Amino acid sequence: MKINVKRLNQNFHMQALNEEGNIVEMDGSPEIGGEGKGMRPMQLLLTSLGGCSSIDVLLILKKQKQIVEAFEVTVEGDREKMGDYSLFKTITLHFKIKGNVDSIKAEKAVQLSMEKYCSVAKTLEPTAKITYKITLIN
């Protein structure tokens, strides 16, 4: 895996490019001179957790022959100052699944993602308590 990060202006606006040519824009916070031209790196970390777990959950539900009409996850994280840096200490994911989905299968899919499959969750686990909730919409 290879990512190239390139500065786009004289401040902190950057562009990340993966090997397939996909682009993500990043910027620093306004407090340090960022201009709101992209997500901040720690926001991308939460985004990665939401994306990783979503792929897992959707794959598992598909294998279980569940009909998912709409899917959304909201990820919230609280950070704690540790000297010169801040780590996520708590992260909550709220999965909202619409369709003909069995609640036991949805719970199992999310549990498997969080406890076994999601590499981003496993990366964050040593410093963050990760919890989740599920809302099924029929």
pLDDT of residue 138: 84
> What pLDDT digit, counting tens, does each position of 45-78 carry?
999 999 999 999 999 999 999 999 999 999 999 9
DSSP string, the chain: --EEEEE-SSSS-EEEEETT--EEEE---GGGT--SSSB-HHHHHHHHHHHHHHHHHHHHHHHTT-EEEEEEEEEEEEEEEETTEEEEEEEEEEEEEEEE--HHHHHHHHHHIIIII-HHHHHHTTT-EEEEEEEEE-
What are the residue ranges in the chain where pLDDT is below 70? none
